[in-house]
Amino acid sequence: MDKEKSTKELTDIIARFVSLVGKKLPDDVWAKLNELRSLETDPLPKTVYDTMFKNQELAFELDRPSCQDTGVLQFLVKCGDSFPLLGRMEQILTEAVIRSTRDAPLRHNSVETFDEYNTGKNVGKGTPTLFWEIVPDSDALELDVYMAGGGCTLPGKAMVLMPGEGYEGVVRFVLDVMTSYGLNACPPLLVGVGVATSVETAALLSKKALFRPLGSHNPNERAAKLEKLLEDGINKIGLGPQGFSGKKSVMGVHVENTARHPSTIGVAVNTGCWSHRHGNILFKGDLSYTVMSHKGVVL
Amino acid sequence: MNEKKILTTPVNAEDIAGFKAGDIFYLNGYIVTCRDVAHRRLVEEKRPLPVDIRNGAIYHAGPIIRPLGNDKFEMVSIGATTSMRMEKFEYEFVKQTGVRILVGKGGMGEGTRKACMEFKALHVVYPAGCAVCAATQVEEIEQAEWRDLGMPETLWVCRIKEFGPLVVSIDTYGNNLFEQNKVIFNQRKEEVYSDIARQVSFIK
Ligand code: SF4
């Protein structure tokens, strides 16, 4: 296939995938929400869950974005070093967002800073956001698509602790976000935690943590233990759906980590809302693709 | 659960006297979208609202509307926006307009609590992220005022049918659901913290 033709084809597929992500939650989130809903016994949280489920059914049936905040589009691009369109990914993703914004339709959520005007296209300088990972000896592309809402994941929080504060300090930091900002971020939340060496490395990891499938664990045993402790602990706080209080608070807690400087512990938290509009799609070098996050859908 | 409670606008003080924070009801009649700039115009610029909302309901929301031509509109999506942004104006707003029901997202503060007690109003929450659900409960958009504010800020006068669930966050007796929950959540958090902290001494 010539490059122009394949550029057009990839743009087309991604535009349709972005639109789908705004209308239908991924399978893992849907299953988890079903589980959390079934645990509630009081009328208030039950009614709230009922409305959330009805909303998702209506959104799909009427072909409309399920939440009015369709966010800023953020992509994790895990690109093989010999994927034929590697150099064009930014152009392709930007064009795909413009198209989906028109077709879905998505809200215009791109305001140029300093000049302070809405571009009216849902893209601007540096938006959509691209996070890159280059995969050696591969001609494939794995793409995570995320609609990052202004009331949940975009705010986030990061800081650098002194080593003396230890992992106890990390726990304190995460829990404090839960009962302040997290409360308004539309629980049940998916909590991404980054533990690294600086604010920006921790912050990036806390975002990437949200792209992991629900139910997955950090390969490091202690990090996985912290995930479990935090998940159970935050659940005990009982934020319930939308912070109205209930049996649980979170869909999951994902911790991602790197090494650190001996003098620092960077920590960051990112709160994904219940309407976790995330998609994962795999492309081979010939652009044949498999949607991993939403089984059985046709784009 | 007991029967669905339904209120119809106009709503008077006696109609809401039985409602306590945490109760759920649905609304028939009319609701007017009203957010940041409309609040500012009324309170700071002293411009009267172009719609009479005495004994009525407002919705802190910026909808997505599809124009149908002939000055007709379709409601595509209408989700609540964060009510707290209106906190600074809400006491004056309720006082001047006589509005009875404020619909939004998340809790509100002291000024609104005071207004709800003094002027007998309720702040209620429509579950967030459920914009399509809410849109299907709008039967018709009958009027649109202050259109110069653009689609999200225009006052859209909506005729609604069983609009809800609406969860009372602030009642007329001074209860504030979110503030009260926060106290409980913070207590539980301290217990959780001590419990976890004992198990993560990885730096030796
Ligand atoms: S936090 Fe999520 S569900 Fe709630 S309004 Fe924002 S995007 Fe929608």
Digit-coded pLDDT (tens) for A158-180: 999 999 999 999 999 999 999 99
User: B103-153 pLDDT, tens per residue?
Assistant: 999 999 999 999 999 999 999 999 999 999 999 999 999 999 999 988 888
The alpha carbon of residue A239 is apart from the nearest alpha carbon of chain B, in Å, by 7
Average pLDDT over residues B167-192: 97
Tell whether A176 and A258 lie within a shared domain.
Answer: yes
Closest to B177 (Cα-Cα) out of A197, A44, A209, A236? A44
pLDDT at B3: 75
Q: What is the percent of chain B with per-residue pLDDT over 70, rounded to a whole number?
A: 99
Contact A246, A152 (CB under 8 A): no
Give every residue of chain A whose pLDDT is below 70, as ranges.
Answer: none
- Report yes or no: B183 at the A interface, CB cutoff 8 Å: no
Tell whether A134 and A103 lie within a shared domain.
Answer: yes
pLDDT at A16: 98
Query: Which phi and psi angles does A117 have, rounded to 5°?
Result: -135, 150
How far from B128 is each of A68, B75, B103, CA to CA, in Å?
10, 17, 11
Tell whether A253 and A282 lie within a shared domain.
Answer: no
pLDDT at A1: 72
Tell whether A228 and A141 lie within a shared domain.
Answer: no
Contacts of A163 in chain B (CB under 8 A): 203
pLDDT at B155: 95
User: B83-92 pLDDT, tens per residue?
Assistant: 999 999 999 9
Tell whether A126 and A206 lie within a shared domain.
Answer: no
User: B147-177 pLDDT, tens per residue?
Assistant: 998 888 899 999 999 999 999 999 999 999 9
Say whether A68 and B77 touch across the interface (CB within 8 A).
yes
pLDDT at A68: 86
Query: Which phi and psi angles does B186 have, rounded to 5°?
Result: -65, -35
Tell whether A145 and A157 lie within a shared domain.
Answer: no
Q: Is B123 a catalytic residue?
A: no
A134 membership: H or E segment, kind and range: strand A129-135
| CA–centroid distance for B162 within its chain | 15
Contact A249, A243 (CB under 8 A): no
Whether omega before A188 lies within 30 degrees of 0, making that bond cis, reads yes
Question: What tokens appear for A131 in the block?
Answer: 């996070």
Tally of domains within chain A: 2
Contact B167, B150 (CB under 8 A): no
Contact B31, B59 (CB under 8 A): yes
Domain ranges across chain B: 6-176
- Report yes or no: B178 at the A interface, CB cutoff 8 Å: yes
Tell whether A19 and A135 lie within a shared domain.
Answer: yes
Q: Is A120 exposed, middle or buried (0-12, 13-18, 19+ CB in 10 A)?
A: exposed
Tell whether A123 and A216 lie within a shared domain.
Answer: no
Q: Which residue from A55, A176, A233 is facing B132, i.e. has the nearest CB?
A: A55
Instruction: Give yes or no for residue A56 CB within 6 A of ligand 1.
Output: no
Contacts of B130 in chain A (CB under 8 A): 51-52, 54-55, 67
Question: What tokens appear for A66 in the block?
Answer: 């399920």
pLDDT at B51 over 60: yes
* CA A186/CA A273 separation, integer angstroms: 5
- Report yes or no: A220 at the B interface, CB cutoff 8 Å: no
DSSP string, B80-125: B-BGGGGHHHHHHHHHHH---EEEEBS---HHHHHHHHHHT-EEEE
The alpha carbon of residue B163 is apart from the nearest alpha carbon of chain A, in Å, by 11
Tell whether A162 and A23 lie within a shared domain.
Answer: no
Q: Please tell me the least confidently modeled range out of A15-29, A127-141, B24-38, B67-81.
A: B67-81
Q: Please name the residue whose Cα sits nearest to atom 2 of ligand 1.
A: A273
Query: Which phi and psi angles does A250 have, rounded to 5°?
Result: -130, 155
Q: Please name the residue whose Cα sits nearest to atom 8 of ligand 1.
A: B129
Strand boundaries in chain B, DSSP class E: 6-8, 24-33, 57-59, 64-69, 72-77, 101-104, 122-125, 138-145, 155-170
Tell how far the Cα of A259 is from the centroid of ligand 1, in angstroms. Answer: 33
Tell whether A218 and A261 lie within a shared domain.
Answer: yes
Tally DSSP H helices, then E strands, for chain A. 7, 11
pLDDT at B1 over 80: no
**Domain span at residue A127?**
1-149+276-299
* CA A194/CA B73 separation, integer angstroms: 46
pLDDT at B2: 59
Average pLDDT over residues B60-74: 90
Tell whether A299 and A265 lie within a shared domain.
Answer: no
Question: Quick one: fold of B6-176?
Answer: fumarase (3.20.130)
Contact A210, A190 (CB under 8 A): yes
